[in-house]
C-alpha cells in the first residue's frame, strides 16, 4: 500500500505555494524550514496513525494542511506550539470526522485558531522584522488599528512583520491566478470574499469607522487566507450560487472582526464561520432550484 494517496489537485496547491515558501526562507532563514519540518512531521504522523487503522494511505491533502499551517504561524513560534497546532488541526478537524473529504472545517484554520486562542501571548508577540533581525510586538495590522501610517510598498512586496507566508501580496496574487487557471480553486469564492471585504472596508474608511482601506486590505493574512483557505474544496460549498454567498459571509465577517473585536486578525475566524454555514447554503440553494 502506498504511503500517500495521489491527489493532483492538492499537488497543484503545493506547487502554487513554492514561491511563497522560497520568499519566506529568504525573509526568515532557517526558522521557516525548522517550523515547517516540525509541522509536517506532526501532521503526517497524526494522519498516518489514524488512517493505518483503516488500512488507508495518508492523503496528500495533509501536505497542503501542513504547508498552509506552517506559513500562517509567526516566525518565532515555539516549536512545541507548532507541533500542537498540526496535531490538533489534523486530528480534531479532520480525522475525528472520518478523514479526507468528510471534514466540516478547514484543518489548517482549526489548528491555527486553537493555538492562537490557547497561547495568545506566544502567538501575538513572536514577530520579527524581515532581514533586520529586530524583534517587534506588533504587526502592520496592529499598527494600523492604533492609528499609525504604513508604507504601501513594503506591504505589497512583503518586507514587513507578519506570519511566515502571508506578507508577499504579489506572490499570493500570482498563486491565485495559477489556481484559477488550473481550475484548482474557486474564483467565485475569491472574488466574493475580496469584493465584499473591499466594499465594507471602503465604507468604514469613508465614514471614519475604521482604518484606511488600502493598507487595511494589504495587511495581515486576509489575502493569504482568501486564496488558500477559504477556497478549500472540502469545507467550502459545492454549488456555484452558494459559493458567492459563502464568500460574502467570509468577507464581511473578516472586516467586522478585524475592525471592532479584540482580535486584530479576523480572517481565520471568518472562514470558520463560513465553514459552519457551507452545507446549509448548499441545501438552501438545492431547495430553491427544485422549487423553481
User: Tens of pLDDT along 217-257?
Assistant: 998 899 999 999 999 999 999 999 999 999 999 999 999 99
Q: What percent of the chain is modeled with pLDDT above 90?
A: 73
Could you read off the pLDDT of 23-66 as tens digits, one per residue? 999 999 999 999 999 999 999 999 999 999 988 999 999 999 99
- What does the pLDDT average to over 68-84? 96
Position with higher pLDDT, 133 vs 206:
206
How far, in Å, are 72, 81, 89, 105, 211 from residue 47 at the CA level? 20, 18, 10, 16, 42
Residue 67 Cα to chain centre, angstroms = 10
Q: Does the pLDDT at position 292 exceed 50? A: no
Neighbours of 146 (CB within 10 A): 10
For residue 290, pLDDT beyond 50 = no
Note every long-range contact of 277-282, with CB atoms under 8 Å and residues 24 or more positions apart, other chains counting.
277/246, 277/249, 278/104, 278/235, 278/236, 278/237, 278/242, 278/246, 279/104, 279/237, 281/237, 281/239, 281/242, 281/245, 281/246, 282/237, 282/238, 282/239, 282/242
pLDDT of 289 higher than 60 = no
pLDDT of residue 264: 73
Contact 245, 281 (CB under 8 A): yes
Average pLDDT, the chain: 91
Amino acid at each position: 500500500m502506498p504511503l500517500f494517496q495521489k491527489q493532483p489537485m492538492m499537488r497543484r496547491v503545493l506547487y502554487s505555494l513554492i514561491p511563497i515558501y522560497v520568499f519566506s526562507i529568504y525573509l526568515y532563514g532557517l526558522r521557516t524550514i525548522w517550523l515547517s519540518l516540525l509541522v509536517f512531521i506532526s501532521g503526517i504522523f497524526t494522519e498516518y496513525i489514524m488512517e493505518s487503522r483503516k488500512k488507508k494511505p495518508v492523503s496528500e491533502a495533509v501536505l497542503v494542511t501542513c504547508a498552509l499551517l506552517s506559513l500562517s504561524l509567526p516566525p518565532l513560534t515555539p516549536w512545541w506550539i507548532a507541533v500542537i497546532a498540526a496535531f490538533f488541526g489534523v486530528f480534531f478537524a479532520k480525522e475525528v470526522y472520518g478523514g479526507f473529504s468528510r471534514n466540516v472545517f478547514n484543518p489548517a484554520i482549526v489548528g491555527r485558531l486553537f493555538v492562537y486562542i490557547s497561547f495568545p501571548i506566544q502567538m501575538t508577540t513572536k514577530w520579527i522584522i524581515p532581514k533586520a533581525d529586530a524583534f517587534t510586538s506588533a504587526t502592520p495590522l496592529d499598527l494600523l488599528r492604533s492609528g499609525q501610517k504604513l508604507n504601501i510598498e513594503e506591504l505589497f512586496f512583503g518586507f514587513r512583520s507578519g506570519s511566515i507566508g502571508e506578507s508577499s501580496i504579489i506572490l499570493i496574487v500570482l498563486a491565485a491566478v495559477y489556481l484559477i487557471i488550473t481550475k484548482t480553486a474557486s474564483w467565485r469564492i475569491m472574488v466574493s470574499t475580496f469584493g465584499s471585504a473591499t466594499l465594507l472596508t471602503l465604507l468604514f474608511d469613508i465614514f471614519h469607522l475604521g482604518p484606511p482601506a488600502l493598507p487595511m486590505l494589504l495587511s495581515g493574512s486576509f489575502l493569504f487566507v482568501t486564496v488558500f483557505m477559504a477556497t478549500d474544496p472540502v469545507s467550502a460549498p459545492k454549488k456555484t450560487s452558494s459559493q458567492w454567498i459563502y464568500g460574502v459571509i467570509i468577507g464581511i465577517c473578516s472586516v467586522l472582526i478585524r475592525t471592532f473585536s479584540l482580535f486584530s486578525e479576523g480572517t481565520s475566524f471568518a472562514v470558520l464561520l463560513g465553514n459552519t454555514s457551507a452545507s446549509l447554503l448548499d441545501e438552501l440553494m438545492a431547495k430553491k432550484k427544485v422549487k423553481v
